[in-house]
Amino acid sequence: MGITLDRRSLIQASLGLTGGLALLKSAPAAAATPSGEPRPWWELGLMADPIMESQLLHFLAGTYSAQSDISEVLDTASRIVAGDDWSWPNEWVRTADRIRAMGDVSLSRRHPISAGNAYLRAANYYRAALIHHPEPTHPSVVATGRKAVDAYNKALPLLKIPGTPVRIPYENTTLPGYFFRAPSARSIAPLLIFQQGRDAWPEESKYVIDAALARGYHCLIVHAPGQGMAIREQGLPFRHDWEQVIRPVVDFALCIAGVDSRRIALLGWSMGGALVPRAAAFERRIKILIPNPGVLNWGDASFEQFNMYFPELMPLLDSDPQAFDAAMGQLMQQVFLYRWYMKDSMSKHGVSTPSALLFELRRYNNEPIVHRIRCRTLVMDGTAEAFSQGQARLLFDALECPKDYMLFTAQDTGLLHCQEGAQAVANHRMFDWLDEYL
């Protein structure tokens, strides 16, 4: 990537180790950069821990879709103790419990709108607790996830959000999700299938769902393997052959009354930008594909970050995996970032050692199948993309289908990963394009 290893680059490199975590954009900094330039607007400078600092932007951005409130997010952040592994989840659950209780009181007094708004925010704060949880197999993870689902399900009817919980048949089980019917649709209407990536839950991108419904598109979101409750409650890990996930989702969608089978769009956020191209290469019923950001080779993007940050450790991976695991184990004991990332990623990928995780990541490569994609594709990208820099352009250049490239910059404020903090401009540009082709 041509990154110079100054202080900021080292911090960004460490954040890149999170393998595409949609919430991490940059680290807190002083009022000015080493070059004397003003601090970028997205570097909040509110917390000592760069991971937690960056995640705040995601939850502050939730105010755009009424899923959070600025005061509640900042108050929670003020109580979090850097260096305490459990402080992050405990404080978010504390906030979520308080807001949920507010909703319960309002509901008991027949104030459905106030109750629904409180439940919507509480659900988001429960999910916030799990984004940075130190022990992915701890019983509190499933318990908190269920609280998030319960609060969200209570909010939908109270706020008259046209969403219905669904279970999508998948192999020998089902995947949880929601179908949102566009209120303005009078007969058949196009469908937007939306999926998140490695960390965020699909419900967190309510701003996309709201925009789709307002334009007359039905919307289907799913907790796919490796995500949301599918990994936490059902133990279903990520898989590289993502067509095996999307195919049953499309099968399910086509059984829903009012869905136009000729107008189905597949949108993937964050790590989803690496997964959905693989799915579209084999699933011909997809008319529109939108990877945000687009990724040609997720394995290469991940290894580039590891090689940059652990140049002495990485040669052990292939020559002596056990030695690699031992060395990484020592680093995990010393640094919370590595401890959290490795535990979280190993759980989501269904492996038990750091070396097995890296071997698994190598399988996420779209290069052998990208030529099979035939649907019109919009590749989204940002000039400050932190986790798969350059990959969107590589994917765009490799595509042989009708295609467009959409770059967000500092000028339009959508330059960060998945246009974090710039939901308005992201919806504006993406849906204008989608309206023309769907």
Give tens-digit pLDDT for 126-163.
999 999 899 999 999 999 999 999 999 999 999 999 99
Give the span between the Cα atoms of 275 and 285, in whole angstroms: 16
Mean pLDDT over the full length of the chain: 91
Instruction: Specify the pLDDT at position 310.
Output: 86
Quick check: 340 pLDDT over 70?
yes
Task: Estimate the crossing angle of helix 112-131 against helix 70-79, to 10 degrees.
Answer: 40
Instruction: Specify the pLDDT at position 49.
Output: 67
pLDDT above 70 as % of the chain: 91
Quick check: 201 pLDDT over 80?
yes
Phi-psi region of 177 (alpha: psi -120 to 50; beta: other; left: phi over 0): beta
Quick check: 9 pLDDT over 50?
no
Q: Which tokens go with 300? A: 């290469």
Instruction: Specify the pLDDT at position 33.
Output: 55
Instruction: Specify the pLDDT at position 46.
Output: 84
Contact 218, 251 (CB under 8 A): no
Quick check: 15 pLDDT over 50?
no
Quick check: 31 pLDDT over 90?
no
How distant, in Å, are the alpha carbons of 60, 77, 174, 199 from that of 97? 19, 16, 29, 22
Give the span between the Cα atoms of 228 and 146, in whole angstroms: 10
Quick check: 11 pLDDT over 50?
no
Give the torsion through C-alpha atoms of 250, 255, 257, 263, to 10 deg.
30
Strand ranges across the sheet with 376-382: 163-170, 173-180, 218-222, 189-195, 259-269, 288-292, 376-382, 403-408
CB atoms within 10 A of CB 358: 22
In angstroms and rounded to an integer, the radius of gyration of the C-alpha atoms of the chain is 21
For tokens 């969200």, the residue is: 152
Contact 276, 294 (CB under 8 A): no
Give tens-digit pLDDT for 289-332.
999 999 999 999 999 989 988 899 999 999 999 999 999 999 99
Find the mean pLDDT for residues 376-387: 95
Give tens-digit pLDDT for 56-88.
899 999 999 999 999 999 999 999 987 888 999
Find the mean pLDDT for residues 25-54: 66
Domains of the chain: 46-160 (1.20.1440.110), 162-297+364-436 (3.40.50.1820), 300-362 (no CATH)
Quick check: 264 pLDDT over 90?
yes
Q: Is 284 exposed, middle or buried (0-12, 13-18, 19+ CB in 10 A)?
A: exposed
Q: In the 8-state DSSP scheme, what is residue 255?
A: T
Quick check: 176 pLDDT over 90?
yes
Instruction: Specify the pLDDT at position 34.
Output: 57
CB atoms within 10 A of CB 134: 16
Instruction: Specify the pLDDT at position 3.
Output: 27
Q: Most distant CA pair in the chain: distance in Å?
A: 66
Quick check: 38 pLDDT over 50?
yes
Give the span between the Cα atoms of 284 and 368, in whole angstroms: 17
CB atoms within 10 A of CB 268: 30
Residue bearing the bigger pLDDT, 3 or 102: 102
Give the span between the Cα atoms of 125 and 93, in whole angstroms: 7
